[in-house]
Amino acid sequence: MSESGDRTQANMDLALEQVCRELDGELTGVRGVMRSLRRENEMPYALFEDESKVSRAFPTKEEAIKKADEAGLLEIDANGKPTLVSGLTIKPCSPDEEKKSDEDLDWVPNTG
């Protein structure tokens, strides 16, 4: 290969290297956005009575509803739709400070 050809190849290699760095930077940004979206979808939920949190946090709203059903806290309304017993809601919450297992008490509704 001639000296001119060597320079052309070297310039092409440098250009390719630059494009790869830029793409890697963009991919890193995309990965960050994807991680952020996954975290949003993993927002913990808990059972609340009025404004008081009365359960541990669950990884998803669906899991919180399932546990409420297992605990007998869902009723069937007049339209045949399952609803939480009066005064209870499931809302997003902060994660629990300590991880709790399924053996831990999930519901602590106020009885007074």
> Tens digits of per-residue pLDDT, 47-74?
999 889 988 899 899 999 998 998 889 9
28 with 73, same domain: the answer is no
22 with 50, same domain: the answer is no
94 with 53, same domain: the answer is yes
52 with 106, same domain: the answer is yes
33 with 64, same domain: the answer is no
- The label of the residue with tokens 């290297």 reads 17
Q: How many CB atoms lie within 10 A of CB 83?
A: 13
63 with 107, same domain: the answer is yes
Q: How many CB atoms lie within 10 A of CB 46?
A: 23
52 with 104, same domain: the answer is yes
- What are the Cα distances from residue 41, in Å, to 59, 73, 81? 9, 24, 25
66 with 85, same domain: the answer is yes
Q: Which domain holds residue 17?
A: 1-41
Q: How confident is the model at residue 1 (pLDDT cuts 50, 70, 90)?
A: low
33 with 60, same domain: the answer is no
12 with 51, same domain: the answer is no
Question: How many residues in total does the chain contain?
Answer: 112
83 with 96, same domain: the answer is yes
Q: How confident is the model at residue 93 (pLDDT cuts 50, 70, 90)?
A: very high
Please tell me the total count of domains within the chain: 2
33 with 56, same domain: the answer is no
* Residue 31: per-residue pLDDT: 63
